[in-house]
Structure formats: C-alpha cells, structure tokens
Amino acid sequence: MVSRSRKSPEKQSGTVLLGKYELGRRLGVGSFAKVHVARSISTGELVAMKIIDKKKTIDSGMEPRIIREIEAMRRLQNHPNVLKIHEVMATKSKIYLVVEYAAGGELFEKLVRYGRLNESAARRYFQQLASALSFCHRDGIVHRDVKPQNLLLDKEGNLKVSDFGLSALPEHRSCNGLLHTACGTPAYTAPEVIAQRGYDGAKADAWSCGVFLFVLLAGYVPFDDANIVAMYRKIRKREYRFPSWISKQARSIIFKLLDPNPETRMSVDDVIETAWFQKSLEVRSDVVELDRFLEKEAKTNNVVTAFDLISLSSGLDLSGLLVGRMRKEKRFTAKVSADGVVEKAEMIGEKLGFRVEKKDEAKVVGLGKGRTAVVVEVLELAEGLVVAEVKVADGEEEEEETHWSELIVEFEEIVLSWHN
C-alpha cells in the first residue's frame, strides 16, 4: 500500500502514500507521531501528514488518545484558528492523519529567535488563541494542552491551534462535570491540573492563556524554577515579575487569568469582553506588521531570549524541570492537609527512630539518623492543594540509601501522586 516513488528513492521523501500524497520533509516528531509535509497528487495542495505507528501507540495505550484527537478536531472544523483535519487513513500498522499544513511553523520558534512581541502583535495572537478556545468551550471541548508546540502559524501568520489529542469530549467527563486526567505541560499548566484533582478544563485553558500572554509580552515564562516546589510556591503566591514595558491593562488581564483559584479565575469568555482584548479586533494588518516587526527586531536585537523550550515540553513528567539534581529528593501532592503532612512526617520519624525536629510556624520537619539528615517541606499551593518535598539535606551515600528508602515507603499512605 505504501510504495516508493521511482523518481526519488532517497529516504522517506518522495514516497507516495496510498497513491494520494507525496511525502516531503519531516516537520517534527511528537510523542506518538512523525509529522511530514506532503503534497496531494490530485490537487497539488500542501498538507501536513501525521504518521502514527499503531504498534507503538497500542503498546502504550495511546489509541484512545488518537481517536479523541480526531473526533475533537472533526467537530471543530469551522473556526479559522483551529487546525483543520482533512482526512484520516489507516493501514494495518499505521494511522495517517492528514491535516492543514501550518507553513509558518511554531509560533514560539519565532519568539525564541526574535524575542518578545510588541503589544499589538501579542494581542493579535492572543485574540486568535482565545477565540479558538472559546469556540471549543462552547462545544464542550477543552484543549488542556495549550503549549508552544501546539500553536502553529499558517503562511499568512494566522495562529492555528493544533492537537486536541488530550482534549476531553463531554462524554469523557465524570458525573460531577469535572475532568480527571492529568495532562498538559508544567510551565503552562494550572495548579489544579498538576494536583490531579477533578478540575474544570475550560478554567485550566484560561490559565494557559494567561501564561501565553505573559510569554508573548515578556519574552519569558512567568513561573520558572529548577525546583518544582519553589515553582509551586511562586504560583500560589502569584510570584512573578512584570517587566516594565507591559501595559497596565495587559497586566490586569494576566493577573486575573493567573489566579491560582479556578473559581475566581477569569474565564476565556470574560477575557474576550475586556476593552484591551476588543481593541483592533479583526484588524488583519497587525499580522503583516508582525512580520515587519520581527524582521526589524532581528536586526536590532542581538539578545536571544532564553526560552527553555525543552523543559516546557516535558509533559507532566515534572522531573524534566529539575536539572543537576545531586541528592535524593522526592515530591508529592498530598491527600491530606499541610498540617496532616507535618504530623505524618513526625509520626514516621518517631516510628523509625529518627530524631525529629520541627520548626515553629514553618511547615518544615527535620529528621535525623546517624549522619543522615532529611528535610520535609510542606506547602499549601491553593486551598486543598498540598505539595510536599522530602529531601536528603546531609548524609553519607551508603547509609543514606537505607534510611531514605525506609522513610519514603511510609509516606505512601498520604500521597495522591509522586512527581519524581
């Protein structure tokens, strides 16, 4: 079924797929698909071809995810900022997903190269993202994976939201209307999603919109820390710094979207109503201006913004955020209150014969045995969202190993999920 074209036998390029598409260069690789540009033999139109290896996807339980992606995209064909799906084909071993080709590539690649945007260019992309998400929310579909790799540009520079692979259709909701799958990308992920509790997906998308707008205007992510507990603390305390050039109105919107409490967080629909958002809505010249702006910036701006896109794309594997970790440390979200974790840490320490030391007020417990010192730090990120970090503060390797493993198993009872 998949035959090599006689004209260009090199590599995969030139391969004719199912007698309909000629395969071109590779655009990228995702966690379960390879993406190539392809040309329709009958119309000459360029498309993007997502090639999914069924063997791999079935092994890792990915098939439902793909089916969901297709279902969700099919229902969202009428929005200009939602990437279109043309056709789905399958052989015994592969699924071919033919989608609209976003010739402009990833928006964030541009940002990495050229730095932050001016306010009107940023607003234009923000309008396009919010309008696509609001369209989806109306249909009961949430994206849940708004991240740099999924925000593409077509040849005119219009934003295209791709990849509803993690989106949840209404029928995937639990009876209380809340979602239960943890997914997304840490730097863009709302605190309640990281906590893996039931959450309102539309509000989680609103959070990601807030991060997106901040990044466009600032040129860096609002919450960034090699240490995930420190990052949680920053999120909870809304600890991020606006660079001086961000306007008052834009700050106010970002502030309301980055509300750690989903109940009081501004929704995507609310943001659309704001005067800042409405300004120059649908004025296409912004997009053209953007390209000129980027060209100019490229010439004048030698400083490349340090986006850590690798850490942004690590999915929910929070360990991807931790660099150069030397000693043993583990983090978890807890089933119990912050005080509950502190109490448990003290109990475990006593039970296992550790010296227990608790600092007044602070939610920190020190545990010592022999030469090993372990610190348990507890944080309440938002109401009901408790994160704890257990780490070896001092010790000697061999001894440390035994003390560490006996301690860790004891915590299991109060752990909702481990993060590394």
Residues contributing to the site for ligand ATP (CB under 6 A) = 27-33, 35, 48, 50, 83, 99-102, 106, 149-150, 152, 162-163, 165
The piece of 46-54, 162-170, 271-279, 334-342 that touches Mg ion (CB under 5 A) is 162-170
One-character DSSP codes across 311-335: HHTSTT-GGGG--S--S-EEEEEES
CB of residue 31 to ligand ATP, shortest distance in Å: 4
Q: Please, are residues 216 and 111 in contact by the beta-carbon 8 Å criterion?
A: yes
Partner in contact with 102, chosen from ligand ATP, Mg ion, none, beta carbon below 5 to 8 Å by kind: ligand ATP
Q: Does 192 bind Mg ion (CB under 5 A)?
A: no
CB of residue 130 to Mg ion, shortest distance in Å: 19
CB of residue 162 to Mg ion, shortest distance in Å: 6
Q: Does 163 bind Mg ion (CB under 5 A)?
A: yes
Catalytic residue among 59, 139, 145, 200: 145
One-character DSSP codes across 13-76: TTPEETTTEEEEEEEEE-SSEEEEEEEETTT--EEEEEEEEHHHHHHTT-HHHHHHHHHHHHTT
CB of residue 36 to ligand ATP, shortest distance in Å: 9
Q: Cβ contacts of residue 42 below 8 Å, gap of 6+?
A: 20
CB of residue 181 to Mg ion, shortest distance in Å: 16
Q: Which is nearer to ligand ATP, 14 or 30 (CB)?
A: 30
Angle at 203 between CA 198 and CA 204, to 5 degrees: 70
Q: Which is nearer to ligand ATP, 28 or 177 (CB)?
A: 28
Partner in contact with 132, chosen from Mg ion, ligand ATP, none, beta carbon below 5 to 8 Å by kind: none
Q: Does 205 bind Mg ion (CB under 5 A)?
A: no
Closest CA to 332 of 233, 230, 420, 260: 420
CB of residue 214 to ligand ATP, shortest distance in Å: 21
Paired tokens of 346: 């003290």
Partner in contact with 307, chosen from Mg ion, ligand ATP, none, beta carbon below 5 to 8 Å by kind: none
Compute how many other C-beta atoms are within 10 angstroms of the C-beta atom of residue 314.
17
Return d(Cα 212, Cα 123) in angstroms, integer: 11
Partner in contact with 28, chosen from Mg ion, ligand ATP, none, beta carbon below 5 to 8 Å by kind: ligand ATP
CB neighbour burial string for 13-51, b if at least 16 within 10 angstroms, e if fewer: bebbbeebbbbbeebeeeebbbbbbbbeeeeeeebbbbb
Q: Please, are residues 213 and 268 in contact by the beta-carbon 8 Å criterion?
A: no
CA 338 to chain centre: 27
Q: Which is nearer to ligand ATP, 109 or 269 (CB)?
A: 109
Q: Which is nearer to ligand ATP, 182 or 341 (CB)?
A: 182
Q: Which is nearer to Mg ion, 60 or 247 (CB)?
A: 60
DSSP state at residue 266:
P
Q: For residue 138, give the H/E element and its range.
A: helix 119-138
Q: Does 380 bind Mg ion (CB under 5 A)?
A: no
Q: Does 100 bind Mg ion (CB under 5 A)?
A: no
Count of residues binding Mg ion (CB under 5 A)? 3
Partner in contact with 27, chosen from Mg ion, ligand ATP, none, beta carbon below 5 to 8 Å by kind: ligand ATP
3-state DSSP assignment of residue 102:
coil
Return d(Cα 416, Cα 397) in angstroms, integer: 28
Q: Which is nearer to ligand ATP, 83 or 415 (CB)?
A: 83
Q: Which is nearer to Mg ion, 50 or 265 (CB)?
A: 50
DSSP state at residue 142:
B
Paired tokens of 401: 């190993």
Is 145 in the active site? Answer: yes
Position of minimal CB gap to ligand ATP: 30
CB of residue 60 to ligand ATP, shortest distance in Å: 12
**Any idea which residues carry the catalytic annotation?**
145
The footprint of Mg ion (CB under 5 A) covers 30, 150, 163
